Structure 1
């Protein structure tokens, strides 16, 4: 995933289980933070999306593959890359890395919804950044 947005995260005690290994559900939290920062880096944040465009992101599907553990005090990176947009559906790929070692891969399908929780197409400015090649 070259040109991906990267977010560095330090693993804290609260992120781990009794063995000092990151608890599996916390990778979803890390991925959520990375998606939020990816959007913010492109001039959008969740309050702006709701106030200006009346849309929210919802996760429809998340497929995670756990390859290796992260441990207490590790510095990890979460990469985020848009992979496509069709109507209200957005596909993203994410990877959690320690150095160059892949720890977790995630394939996500998000759906844009309005305040009534009905699927809606992405507004043109948002569609432009979701359709942009990685790294732009």
Structure 2
């Protein structure tokens, strides 16, 4: 739907386990940062959206396919693609790759829902639909 968004990440010592391999949960952190920066690059500040529009994103579903390890000092990129737009949710695929390579180390398949302060589902704001190429609400 939208062009892929690329977010660079460097693997630091704190990201690794005793064997120097990225600890599995850190890929979720990398992906979260990439989604936040994807929105920020599109002019969307999540804190303002939560405070002014009573709208926030939550991960409803995340499937992670760990294919190969990243290690200490690797230069990585998280490639984010929005693959679908629903009334109150986005579908996305995020791939973690080594910079300059195309073979993913990790693939995350996500459904990201929109909720209000009470945690109830709400439709995506039009500016989010415009950002991801989702057009008018269905």
Aligned: 1:119 with 2:121:
yes
Q: Which moved more, 1:89-98 or 1:44-53?
A: 44-53
What is the TM-score of this pair, normalised by structure 1?
A: 0.92
Structure 2, unmatched stretches of 5+, are none
Q: What secondary structure, in the 3-state scheme, does the structure 1 residue paired with 2:104 have?
A: strand
Q: Which moved more, 1:45-54 or 1:102-111?
A: 45-54
1:10-89 alignment runs, 5 A limit: 10-89=10-89
The CA RMSD over aligned residues, in Å, is 1.8
Equivalent residues, number: 133
1:60–1:111 CA contact under 8 A, matched in 2: yes
Distance in 2, matches of 1:115 and 1:97, equals 35
What is the TM-score of this pair, normalised by structure 2?
A: 0.90
2:2–2:132 CA contact under 8 A, matched in 1: no
Task: Give the equivalent residue in structure 1 for 2:108.
Answer: 106
Show CA shifts across 1:88-117 (max 9, x none): 121011000012231001110011000111
1:84–1:131 CA contact under 8 A, matched in 2: no
